[in-house]
C-alpha cells in the first residue's frame, strides 16, 4: 500500500504515520525529516533548505522532487510507504503521479487555531523522535530522552506555514478527490482517537 498523508503542519501526520507504520508495515518518508537530517549533517541540500524552512516557505519544487525521486527509486514495486509532507504543490503531485501509483490519500483536518495551539507547545524527543507537549513533559514520556522545540515552531513561522498550506497545498484536496483517492479524517482529539478514524476509513472501505 502506498499512501499520501495530507494536512496542515501540526495536523498530526507524523504521529499517525508512526501508528500506521506499525500496523501496516509501511515505510515512513517525511520530506521535512529528510531536510532536518541534512541540516544536522550540514550538507549543501540542508543548508539550501534551511533558508526556506526558517521563513516558513516551501523549498523549491525542483529540489524537493529530485530528492523524493531518489528516495522512491530505493523501493521495490511491492514495498509500501507513506509520504508525509509530500506532495505540497500541484506540480509535486503531478510529478508523484508519474513516479508511482498511489492507493490512497488521507487528509487530516484541524482548524488553524488548534494548529497554532498545538505547534506552539510541540516538543520532539532528540533520541526517538516522539512528539509531545512541552507543557506536560520535561523528558520524553516514551524513552526518557531530551526534548527540543523545532526552530520553525514559533508563532510567526507557524502563521507563514499555514498561509502556504492554504495557498498551495489545499489545492491537492481537489486534485486527489477528483481521482477518487481522497479520505478526509477529523484530526481533532487524542492521537489514538484519530487513529481509530483512520483505521475505520482505510480498512472498512
By annotation, the residues acting in catalysis are 13, 88, 122, 150, 161
Out of 5, 16, 38, 85, the only residue in the binding site for ligand AMP (CB under 6 A) is: 85
123 scored as a contact of ligand AMP (CB under 6 A): no
- Residue span 12-31 as binding mask against ligand AMP, x where in contact by CB under 6 A, dash where not: -------------------x
Closest CA to 87 of 72, 109, 75, 76: 72
- Closer of 172 and 194 to ligand AMP (Cβ): 172
Count the alpha carbons within 13 Å of 205 in the hemisphere toward its beta carbon: 14
Query: Which residues have a Cβ under 8 Å from the Cβ of 23 and sit 6 or more positions away?
Result: 199
CA 183 to centroid of chain Cα atoms:
16
Q: Are 115 and 10 in contact (CB under 8 A)?
A: yes
64 scored as a contact of ligand AMP (CB under 6 A): yes
- Closer of 58 and 140 to ligand AMP (Cβ): 58
195 scored as a contact of ligand AMP (CB under 6 A): no
- Closer of 59 and 106 to ligand AMP (Cβ): 59
Q: Are 147 and 138 in contact (CB under 8 A)?
A: yes
Range 151-180, binding ligand AMP (CB under 6 A): 152, 161
Q: How many residues bind ligand AMP (CB under 6 A)?
A: 18
Please state whether beta strands 131-133 and 122-125 pair in parallel, antiparallel, or not at all (unpaired). Answer: antiparallel
- Per-residue burial over 37-66, b = 16 or more CB atoms within 10 Å of its CB, e = otherwise: ebbeeeeebbebbbebbeebebbeeeebbe
Out of 7, 12, 32, 104, the only residue in the binding site for ligand AMP (CB under 6 A) is: 32
CB of 129 to ligand AMP, least distance (A): 11
End-to-end CA distance of the chain: 14
52 scored as a contact of ligand AMP (CB under 6 A): yes
Out of 86, 95, 108, 175, the only residue in the binding site for ligand AMP (CB under 6 A) is: 86
- Closer of 58 and 185 to ligand AMP (Cβ): 58
Q: Are 151 and 40 in contact (CB under 8 A)?
A: no
| Chain residues in the site for ligand AMP (CB under 6 A) | 9, 31-32, 35, 52-53, 56-59, 64, 85-88, 92, 152, 161
Amino acid at each position: 500500500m502506498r499512501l499520501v498523508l495530507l494536512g496542515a503542519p501540526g495536523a498530526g501526520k507524523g504521529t499517525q504515520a508512526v501508528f500506521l507504520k506499525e500496523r501496516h508495515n509501511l515505510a515512513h518518508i517525511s520530506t521535512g525529516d529528510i531536510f532536518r537530517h541534512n541540516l544536522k549533517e550540514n550538507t549543501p541540500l540542508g543548508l539550501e533548505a534551511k533558508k526556506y524552512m526558517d521563513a516558513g516557505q516551501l523549498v523549491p519544487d525542483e529540489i524537493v522532487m529530485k530528492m523524493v525521486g531518489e528516495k522512491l527509486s530505493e523501493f521495490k514495486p511491492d514495498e509500501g510507504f507513506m509520504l508525509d509532507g509530500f506532495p505540497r504543490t500541484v506540480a509535486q503531485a503531478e510529478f508523484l503521479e508519474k513516479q508511482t501509483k498511489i492507493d490512497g490519500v488521507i487528509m487530516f483536518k484541524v482548524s488553524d487555531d488548534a494548529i497554532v495551539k498545538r505547534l506552539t507547545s510541540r516538543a520532539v524527543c532528540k533520541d526517538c523522535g516522539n512528539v509531545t507537549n512541552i507543557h506536560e513533559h520535561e523528558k520524553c514520556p516514551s524513552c526518557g530522552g531530551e526534548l527540543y522545540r523545532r526552530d520553525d515552531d514559533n508563532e510567526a513561522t507557524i502563521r507563514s506555514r499555514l498561509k502556504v498550506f492554504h495557498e498551495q497545498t489545499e489545492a491537492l484536496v481537489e486534485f486527489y478527490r477528483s481521482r477518487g483517492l481522497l479520505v478526509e479524517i477529523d484530526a481533532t482529539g487524542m492521537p489514538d482517537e484519530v487513529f481509530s478514524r483512520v483505521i475505520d476509513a482505510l480498512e472498512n472501505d
